[in-house]
Structure 1
Amino acid sequence: MSLRGGTRSLQGAAEGAKSAHGFDYDYFVIGGGSGGVRSSRIAASHGAKVALVESVRLGGTCVNVGCVPKKLMVYGSHYPHDLEDAKAYGWDMTEPKLNWQRMIENKNKEIARLNGIYERMLKNAGVEVIQGRGTLVDKHTVDVDGKKYTADKILVAVGGWPSLPKIPGIEHAITSNEAFFLKERPQRVIVVGGGYIAIEFAGIFNGYGSQVTQLYRGDLWLRGFDKDVREHLVNEYKEQGVDVRFNSNIAKIEKSGDGLKATLEDGSVLDADVIMYATGRSPRTKDLGCEKVGVELDKNGAIVVNEGFQTSVENIYAVGDVINRIQLTPVALAEGHCLADTLFGGKPRKTDYSDVPTAVFSQPSIGTVGLTEEQAREKYGEVHIYKTSFRAMKHTLTGRQEKTFMKLIVHPETDKVLGVHMVGDAAGEIIQLAGVCMKAGATKADFDNTIGVHPTSAEEFVTLRTRFGA
């Protein structure tokens, strides 16, 4: 799928008028993902002469092998349940038949469409797009497949890449990158990991009809999320038939007939057609030239930056997953935008990392913003907890036992809402507006004084009255 194969400019040539500083460009961006595209486009809108280099496809992880295709596959995995639920509402459906290849082809067409939009957007903004692999030569020079380009300021926005453990047979496993291009739906899948990527893919494969076993080496998945949320989702996945196993890990993988055999650390064996690892991502700084030019890296290979995204080399900057702060597409967009405004727009500003709303497109989905109960108690001591668990109205007819969970964490003295958490249908949609409330400093009284939209699940957030514990 790589477009690599020599340097190719999509808009004009690198030669021509120098920038105001005597370099080829004012701003040279390495990486065409969310942060790099946004920063280059905004910088160009401020009048800077900008180039962006990308070695694969524009849009980065999110567009190509991340949130966009994953969300499309989440949508697709819901249909078998939806068709089954339709019977309770009077609809008799024929037995559904899956054409996995058609789904993959349609997904690929949509991603190609988005790649084109990114290319046109950059071109219209006046950014020169160069195809190839960019590496740092010195503080003002980038090498792209043998050709040198100079710039007054350089931005590194190369993102991250899935990492794999070093165990025997790991070459037989895949990551989320390859999961988007499987030629057929696997019958038996082992998903290794307990983060949001692992959980989302376990839900996707399960929804599409695969037999799914999910292994996590810890006691409970989704480390860093509210404990009630984590435990609630475990119960939901088990109810749906996902074989969730904690304190479990693979010791080795072997070929077995037309499938794979995974031997666990406890000696037990699992058979699978696909073994997918989602056990972390690493910054893509290997062979980028950071060490050669003096750009400091942390122990995990992430680029160290100050609050203005400046590296240890004063004119080289970095944003997005490569700096290992909050690895979310909207965060990278905000970082890139702030940096461009600061450097070229005469509008110095910083990225605010507080109360960032986020969603996990598990099944059911998670929406969360603000502090977890554990974080709130550590910071404030006593906090007020309001929570509820209920079967959504839709399932009073379908008979499904799926439960929605909602939780508010409130400061006992100021009444300010410190955290909002939800597991249930449309949690990602609902949490966006909860994030607005948090940014505005909403109190529990503000929630209580808001009239609910009935009948919806969301109205539960403004009708919570029972307090749990201190």
Structure 2
Amino acid sequence: MSGEVKKYDVIVIGGGSGGSAFSRRAAGYGAKVAIIDRGVKYINGIRNGAGPGGTCVNVGCVPKKVMFMAAGVREMLSDSVGVARGYGYEIKAKDLNLDWSLLKSRRDAYVDRLSKGYVKNWNKAGVDVIMGTAKFVSCQSFDSTQEYVIEVTKSPEDGGTVDLLRANRVVIAVGGKITMPNWPGIEYAISSDGFFDMEFQPRKVAVIGAGYIAVEMAGILHALGSETHLFFRGDTVLRRGFDPFVVEQLMQAMKAHGPELHPLSTPNAIIKDEQTGTKTLVLENGSKFTDFDCILVAIGREPLGPELQVPSALKLDPKGYIVVDDYENTSLPNVYAIGDATTTGFELTPVAIAAGRRLADRLYGGEPRARIEYFDIATVVFSHPPIGTVGLTEPEACLAYGRDNVTTKQSAFNSMIYALNENDTNKVKTGLKLVLAGPEEKVVGLHCIGPFSDEMLQGFAVSIRMGATRRDFEASVAIHPTIAEEFVTFGGWGQKKRGDRLKPWLPPYLDPKPNRIFTISNALSFFIGAAAAASILTIRASRS
């Protein structure tokens, strides 16, 4: 162990998106910052750790989006959709052969550049970078004036030494890890992390899970040409946090064009044929599905916080997530937590980045009230077709505002991209939905599915955070011809409802219309809706 104990203003544990965002901004304010990242290890051939940049850069958003786009290119050209043929391109099956090794090498090189860029940016910002594994050492009876001591065991590449760091503040941003079930034969399966280590494209693959990772992986593999089977224990995918309208549209699209679906299927074992190397998936009901080259398990994620050997005074929830308040404070004074390891309920890269920056603003930037607001956060599922969503689903809005105070606008149609495609059966529907609340019809939820949904959502998310109403949408001049214009022309472009200009809205208890009985409780039921909506978003994000 090194005899020197290095002193910092703040120690950041975790070099992912949140920890990086905090470190760079805090250093920009003049704080002396150390960031600790455990790097990547392979244990028995299984990846452990993501590396600088975290899950998103190395085994998440970035390489996944590369694969999503690669799949989209093949999907656009293939006979299964036939778009290219509609525009006069004659594509032959042999022209669609994928060089998996070339795609992987180029993707990995791109990811490596980004990951190294994180280290470069930390150094440029004046952040001390320490590669190793951190744990709390001195953590007893702390008050706001004492220091925390963190022990860092460096990686073998950096000498394998053990250093001690001390600081008045610690930020925990360790993220999460893949959850793998304890089935017989689970060692024959891979996780979504392992997907990015695959050297060859599987001929036949089983994907297990109902969440967005499973849906994305199954869509990518199917579109790239692998025979793909998706197993999930419920009757539908994306059971939590997504509007029933887009889920139904996705299920229809997958049944028509996607992987083979196996609902109400709960696997409990994997058997490997030692002669052929193929795997058999066994379900709880005894059914067996054979001849898989690959079985990919994507049933969820869990926090890495407990692996830190955190002090007992640091409060965790029953699932191991670090309990934080609205300002990322933990139960220990001057110890903060951000990102996927916390109870905030949003395991999204932009959320972790925003939380890290706001925390740095609060601690070192002179903004004592700075914090991220965990509502109206847009998210995208890179499924085939992609889904975009922001705000409340229809059931959530009804719970928050009351069924009688909620209306919806929705439409399903064929995108113009299929206009020259003669084969109607190969068209993937686009679906759009607005969820409106209150007499002013405030837009509290916006949901879309179909080509380019991922790219058009961001601007609508801004308008919803600003409190846009149906009138605001319809007052916007449409961009024609586009998919997005449908959102501002739902009610007939420029067409006002009767009485819109003649009568201002009155609270229900003052409404003079006859034959309607209103009470103070009716009025309150709507006005408390906004607060209830924020609570519902937290409930929706609770983990399985």
CA drift of 1:463 comes to: 1.0
- Matched with 2:217 is 201
Structure 2 residue 130 is matched with structure 1 residue 130: yes
Q: Does the CA-based 8 Å contact 2:171-2:336 persist in structure 1?
A: yes
- Matched with 1:450 is 476
Identify the match of residue 55 of structure 2 among 30, 40, 61: 61
CA drift of 1:97 comes to: 1.8
CA drift of 1:269 comes to: 0.9
Identify the match of residue 354 of structure 2 among 313, 334, 337: 334
CA drift of 1:247 comes to: 1.5
CA drift of 1:401 comes to: 2.1
Report the more deviating stretch, 34-43 or 304-313: 304-313
- Matches of 1:210 and 1:39, distance apart in 2: 41
Q: Deviations over 1:61-87 (max 9, x none)?
A: 000000000000000011222223222
Tell me the secondary structure at the aligned position of residue 133 of structure 1.
strand
- Percent of pairs with identical residues: 40
CA drift of 1:286 comes to: 3.2
Q: Deviations over 1:218-276 (max 9, x none)?
A: 22221221011111101101111411122211121010232100111121111211111
- Matched with 2:399 is 378
Q: Does the CA-based 8 Å contact 1:234-1:244 persist in structure 2?
A: no
Q: Does the CA-based 8 Å contact 2:323-2:330 persist in structure 1?
A: yes
Q: Which one has the largest radius of gyration?
A: 2
- Matched with 2:295 is 275
CA drift of 1:34 comes to: 0.4
- Matched with 1:392 is 415
Structure 2 residue 328 is matched with structure 1 residue 305: no
CA drift of 1:351 comes to: 0.9
- Matches of 1:88 and 1:410, distance apart in 2: 38
Taking the TM superposition and a 5 Å limit, the aligned residue runs for 1:241-256 are 241-256=258-273
Report the more deviating stretch, 414-423 or 91-100: 91-100
Q: Does the CA-based 8 Å contact 1:174-1:274 persist in structure 2?
A: yes
CA drift of 1:443 comes to: 0.6
- Matched with 1:321 is 340
- Matched with 1:357 is 378
Tell me the secondary structure at the aligned position of residue 92 of structure 1.
coil
| Paired residue type of 1:274 | C
| Paired residue type of 2:97 | K
Q: Does the CA-based 8 Å contact 1:163-1:280 persist in structure 2?
A: yes
Identify the match of residue 156 of structure 1 among 172, 177, 181: 172
Q: Which TM-score applies when normalising by structure 1?
A: 0.93
- Matches of 1:433 and 1:121, distance apart in 2: 29
- Matches of 1:247 and 1:300, distance apart in 2: 25
Structure 2 residue 65 is matched with structure 1 residue 71: yes
- Matches of 1:324 and 1:216, distance apart in 2: 26
Identify the match of residue 216 of structure 1 among 229, 232, 245: 232
- Matched with 1:368 is 389
- Matches of 1:181 and 1:238, distance apart in 2: 29
CA drift of 1:376 comes to: 0.7
CA drift of 1:429 comes to: 1.5
- Matches of 2:213 and 2:382, distance apart in 1: 9
- Matches of 1:307 and 1:324, distance apart in 2: 10
Q: Does the CA-based 8 Å contact 2:136-2:311 persist in structure 1?
A: no
- Matched with 2:433 is 407
Tell me the secondary structure at the aligned position of residue 194 of structure 1.
coil
Tell me the secondary structure at the aligned position of residue 421 of structure 1.
strand
CA drift of 1:437 comes to: 0.8
Q: Does the CA-based 8 Å contact 2:324-2:343 persist in structure 1?
A: no
Q: Does the CA-based 8 Å contact 2:223-2:258 persist in structure 1?
A: no
Report the more deviating stretch, 294-303 or 59-68: 294-303
- Matches of 1:266 and 1:32, distance apart in 2: 43
Report the more deviating stretch, 201-210 or 398-407: 398-407
Q: Does the CA-based 8 Å contact 2:258-2:384 persist in structure 1?
A: no
Tell me the secondary structure at the aligned position of residue 132 of structure 1.
strand
CA drift of 1:324 comes to: 3.5
**Structure 1 pair 138/310, CA: closer, same or farther in 2 (3 Å)?**
farther
CA drift of 1:93 comes to: 3.4
CA drift of 1:168 comes to: 1.0
- Matched with 1:430 is 456
Unpaired stretches in structure 2, ≥5 consecutive residues: 40-50, 140-147, 154-161, 493-544
| Paired residue type of 1:333 | I
- Matches of 2:84 and 2:236, distance apart in 1: 34
Taking the TM superposition and a 5 Å limit, the aligned residue runs for 1:97-116 are 97-116=97-116
CA drift of 1:312 comes to: 1.3
CA drift of 1:138 comes to: 2.3
- Matches of 1:166 and 1:324, distance apart in 2: 25
- Matched with 2:88 is 90
Structure 2 residue 64 is matched with structure 1 residue 81: no
CA drift of 1:431 comes to: 1.1
Q: Does the CA-based 8 Å contact 2:219-2:258 persist in structure 1?
A: no
| Paired residue type of 1:52 | I
